[in-house]
Structure formats: C-alpha cells, structure tokens
Amino acid sequence: MKNSLLLPFALGLAALVGCSKHTSTSTASAADAVAQVQQVHAAFAKSSNLSDPASFADAARGLIAKPTGQIKGENGAVIWDFETFKFVAGDAPPTVNPSLWRQALLNNQVGLFKVNDHIWQVRGFDLANLTLIEGKTGWIVVDALTARETSAAAMAFARQHLGNKPVTALVFTHSHIDHFGGALGVIEAGEAAERKVPIVAPVGFMEEATSENILMSTAMVRRADYMYGNPLQRNAKGLIDTGLGKAVAYGRVGILEPTLLVDKPVQEVVLDGVRFVFHNVPGSEAPSEFVFALPDLKAFGGAEMMSQTLHNLYTIRGAKVRDALKWAAYLNDSLSWLGDAEVVFNQHHWPVWGKDRIHEFVTKQRDTYKFIHDQTVRMINAGLTGPEVAESLKLPKALQDYMNVRGYYGTVRHNAKAVYQYYMGWYDANPANLDHLPPVEAGKRYVELAGGPDKALASAQRAFDVGDYRWSAEVLKHVVYADSSNAPARELLARSFDQLGYLAEAATWRNAYLVGAQELRNGPPKQGMSKEMMLDMLTHTPIERFLEAMAANLNADKAGDTRLKINLVFTDVQESHVLTLDNAVLHHHKAAPASDANATLSLTKAFFLKMVIGSAGAKDLLLSKETKIDGSTLDLGKFFSLLDKPTGTFPIVTR
C-alpha cells in the first residue's frame, strides 16, 4: 500500500477529533472604556447594593490554606497559574461592570475550605470545585475538574493539609467535561480497577460525556474560546472571570467508566460508610446529572443544578437547549430533598449555610427559571418573537435584587431566547425570515443600500459616538462581512465590541465581545491545540462515537454517487464495524466483516487513536505490526479521502 493512498486515510482519521486550544497572539491593544461606559458603571454602582457581605463571608468561610505558584504539565507548559488573577482586587476598574467585578472577587477566594466536619472543597484550581467527603477508610471524591494536572494538584494540596488517605470512591455528578476530565489525576484506572473503587455516575453519563466531546467538539471548542475568554490576556481589559469560576484549565483530559450507574429517580447508596441519597435530574443543567443528600452529615450536594449565578438555559458555546420548566421543577423538589441539611455545597462557587438561607437560595433559583419560562411563554402567545421577548423581559425586583441569581454566566436575555427556541425553534413565522440570505450576501446588499461602505461606516461612527454600541456593531457587522479587508470598519467594530464587553454584567458576554474584538484586530487562531491531550479520554470512548463523527465529516460533494463498503476490525478489543457509503451518506453498524466489502482494515484501537490525534501517520500505518489491509487499497484510500479535516480555526466575526 503506497503512502500516497495512506495519506488521505491518515487525514481522515485525524478529522475525527476537532478540539482546539488557542493562545493569545495579540498585537493590537483593546480600547479604553469611553466616558459613556464609565457613566453607566457609576450609575449602576450607585443604584445597586453590591456589598453583599453574606456572600463574601460564605466565600471565605472555612479557609484552611491557599495555594501559590503554578501547575505545569509534563512538557513544562503552564496549565494553571494561581498568581494570574491577583489583579482582581479592590474597586472595579472602568473597563469592568461593577457587578461582574463583585463576582470576580468572590470567585477569587481560592484554596482548601472546610464545609463541615466531614466535607471539604478545593476551589479555584480549575473552573469547577473538587469536593472531598471523609469516609471510614479514605476520601470520597465528588467531581474531578477538567484536567489530570489540576485534579492531581488539588488532591495533593488537600492531602498535604488533611492527610494522605486513599480515594475510596469517585462520584461524577454530571456529563460536562469540567467535572470528569481530571479523573485520572484523582485515581489511575489500574488502581481503581485493582482496588475495585466505586465510580458512580448518573444513568446515561458515558453516552452524553463522550458524544458531546466527539461529535460537535470542533465547533463547540472554537466557540468556547469566545465564551470562556481563553485567548484573552488576564487583565482589566481582558479575562477577569467566567461567572462560574475563574477560567478553564487546558491540560490532559480523561475519563473513567462508571462501575455504578444511578438509574432510579431516587437511589440510596453507601460509599465507604457514608450514606448518599441520589436524585436523578436529567435534562436540567446537563442531559445526565444527579444531586444528592447526605442525611447523616446534614448536607446536600446540588451538583450544577444550583449555583451562585443565573445559569444557562442555552450556552453560547453551543449545546442543546435546556428545559426551564423541568429545571424549576427539580429545584422545587429539592426543597423536600434537602431534609435537615444545614449546608448546601455545589460543584461551582461557595456553599450556603443555615436552613433559612438555604431555603431562600433554592427558592429564588427556582422562581427565576420559572419566571423566565412562564413570562416568555406568555409573550410568545401574545405574538412576540424571541428578540422581542428578550428586549422586554425583566425580573421582578425581589429576584433582581437577589445577587445570587444575577446573570454572570447565563442572562435573562439569552435564556428567554432559549425558551423561545425550545418551544418554537428558529423561525419567527414572518415569511421574510423563512429563507434569509447568508451573512456575506446580506452584508453586501446592506452596504449597497447604505450608499457604500464609507457612508455605512460614518453612520456606525455616529452611533458609537453617542454610546449606541449595539447599533454600531449591527451596522459594522454587515460592512465587515461584505469586505473583511476593510480595516477602518474592522477597528471600529472591535472598539464597539470593547465597549459592549466592558458594559456586560455577564462574564460570558464580556468574554465573547472581547475575543471578537481581538480576532478583528489580529485574525482567527493560526492552529488548534495538540489532540494528544484528549488521548486519555478517547481511550475510554466507544468506537461508535468516532464513527458518528466520521459520518459527519463526510464531504457530500466529493462523495457524489460513490458507493463503497469498508470493514473496520479492531483486533485488540474484538470488535468489528461495517461502513457503507451510498447516496452521499455514511452508515455504520457493529457486525462481522462483510464478505462483499471493498476493503478490510484490521488495526488495534490503540493505533486507531494514534491516527486520530495525529501521532501516527501514513508511514506508521504502512509499517506497523498493528495494522493489516485486505482488499482494494485504492478504494480504502479513496474512502478516507472523502472525509474533511476540520481545523477548529474557522473565522467567526469575519468570513
């Protein structure tokens, strides 16, 4: 088999994983906050009570020790820096909404904290919290952060202060990667298997965890850079927070397959002598999620169904829309699930102590989601569209003044649109919007309608000068789409994004605006991250997930009327799949190799994953003892040449 035929195969496999990490290559600086923005901030601070002493006391309560220095990967790369957010102190700078600055200060409470006599949390080592519950013989760990490096550092830091006990159980509260990606930093797979350590998760966990991070990873991770602000510098004009935590750690991502699935609505399990009462809450914050009561410890773990912010019914990185009514119902049920709990701890932010304050905390969260749902539906039935609902919907004063449901992560505006989308979809029933022109074509025609780019730019400048940044951005969006080389339009759009970012109370909106501004000035990222950091997770991912992604990467134009049948035989896991291409659609099913296949490729899953992450190429495939090809090498090469290879570097604010 010649290398020229193997190369498309290698590229095809590499297309299966599209995660990307981008580091800032900023060469142009963000603008200062203009006078209008500073005036808005001053008025906001004067009209709102942002002191919130109770939350600040809770965020600092139980501190045992603070970490210093950096967490580094095996290659010396910095995964986490405990000094990078030290600038978040004192009064809000002009470039940050004062309410968001409050949240950033609260999330800056980093370290090991005692929750009660048998529960501790490590906070500020990653986006989420790592919770330690003391069992009879060791540590029950709840959630494992995003990366092996940060979870290992969190465990080492906790053991330094609490004692070097073994891990006796690992609990995954839900299927989002910032809660399981660091599993192998908590306990290695071999040790977990040898000691038969329970790995507990809600039903559907593996399916949801692996499908989201394989099938849509390229687009989601690219958009996550906007939401979480990873390309931004850490300063008052850049990343200060995410609303949910300080930032996302980018290190080695893994997973451990659960040994115990909680598959009943309510299920009691004893882990290392500690009684857990799990309550499944699928379709709330995650498709697969549970919360749990610890009756004997008088504590309740709210996972991510509860948090110290308004959460997302729709996440702007892109994901399935969440059910607001179901979420509110689960929170309502939680009021009875709490029992005699004297503390509620969650997997982001800080706990809430005291029965009265816990009741208020859960009730206000419940009522916020229910209010957004009910009032959005009321307005839909009155004929309003999603944007119209978002523009007019305001929380009642009792909820608006409760700081722990402020929109630092989700917002009332985009959550209202999520409710509209959940019930009504993308179409607003106006036939003019049934078949929109695509952005570039629409941009060209809007610019022509405005009398040319100079007149459009002048109109946008007038809007900018009076502080109407939403409109200047709307006008300039069309100018830049029509001609992405228009430098004055790009810069004014970037300046509009700067000011919108500085005004935003939501960290996610701020980050999106500021990353957009940076991309207008410096262009999209030049390359994605090394896929090797996903290898630990991919090892435990079912082969079907890769084949689903392979089908989604098929280039239908190239495929045309091509008909092919390929056998993939994975010799080390005793698994075979038949891939059939017809009608420009790729199907796959687990079955014995088909006798009429054009080609059969036998290989180990381990080698397959090397091809996926790019550490093995065409030459390796040719020479490896882990591979064997029967049938037509020409057809096999052609088959894999039909797969696109997404780079995860596509432009967003330009085309």
Tens digits of residue pLDDT in 468-502:
999 999 999 999 999 999 999 999 999 999 999 99
As beta bridge partners, residue 570 has 575, 603
pLDDT for 221: 87
CATH 1.25.40.880 segments of the chain: 432-522
Average the pLDDT over 161-184 and give the result: 97
Q: Is the pLDDT of residue 129 over 80?
A: yes
Give me the chain's average pLDDT, please.
Answer: 93
Structure tokens that stand for 202 in this block: 């809600």
Query: Domain 35-372 belongs to what topology?
Result: Metallo-beta-lactamase; Chain A (3.60.15)
Residues whose CB falls within 8 Å of the CB of residue 356, separated by 6 or more in sequence, listed in order: none
CA distance 61 to 81: 23
Average the pLDDT over 396-409 and give the result: 96
Sign of CA dihedral 372, 507, 650, 447: positive
CA distance 175 to 284: 12
Average the pLDDT over 517-523 and give the result: 97
What is the CATH number assigned to the segment(s) 432-522? 1.25.40.880
Query: What tens digit of pLDDT does each residue of 568-600 get?
Result: 999 999 999 999 999 999 999 999 999 999 999
CATH class, 3-16+553-641 region: alpha beta
pLDDT for 29: 80
pLDDT for 533: 78
Q: Is the pLDDT of residue 646 over 90?
A: no
pLDDT for 529: 63
Cα distances (Å, whole numbers) of residue 442 to 447, 461, 482, 516: 9, 21, 8, 20
Look at residues 335, 377, 326 and name the one whose alpha carbon lies nearest to residue 356: 335
CATH 3.30.1050.10 segments of the chain: 3-16+553-641
pLDDT for 27: 58
Percent of the chain with pLDDT over 90: 84
pLDDT for 534: 80
pLDDT for 4: 36
Cα distances (Å, whole numbers) of residue 120 to 112, 136, 205, 282, 577: 7, 15, 25, 26, 46
Structure tokens that stand for 322 in this block: 């969440």
Average the pLDDT over 321-325 and give the result: 97
CA distance 222 to 232: 14
Phi, psi of 589 (to 5 degrees): -150, 150
Average the pLDDT over 448-464 and give the result: 98
Q: Is the pLDDT of residue 99 over 50?
A: yes
Q: Is the pLDDT of residue 253 over 50?
A: yes
CA distance 623 to 2: 11
CB half-sphere exposure, 272, CA atoms < 13 A = 24
Look at residues 596, 538, 552, 604 and name the one whose alpha carbon lies nearest to residue 576: 604
Q: Is the pLDDT of residue 147 over 80?
A: yes
Query: What tens digit of pLDDT does each residue of 12-70 get?
Result: 444 444 443 444 444 578 999 999 999 999 998 888 888 889 999 999 999 999 999 99
pLDDT for 530: 62
Least confident of 10-14, 81-85, 578-582, 649-653: 10-14
pLDDT for 21: 46
Structure tokens that stand for 519 in this block: 């991309």
Helix (H) / strand (E) element for 6: namely: helix 3-14
pLDDT for 15: 41
CATH 3.60.15.30 segments of the chain: 35-372
CB atoms within 10 A of CB 66: 12
| Confidence at 8, pLDDT banded by 50, 70, 90 | very low
Q: Is the pLDDT of residue 5 over 70?
A: no
Quick check: 651 and 524 in contact, CB under 8 A?
A: yes
Quick check: 377 and 423 in contact, CB under 8 A?
A: yes
pLDDT for 620: 77
Percent of the chain with pLDDT over 70: 95
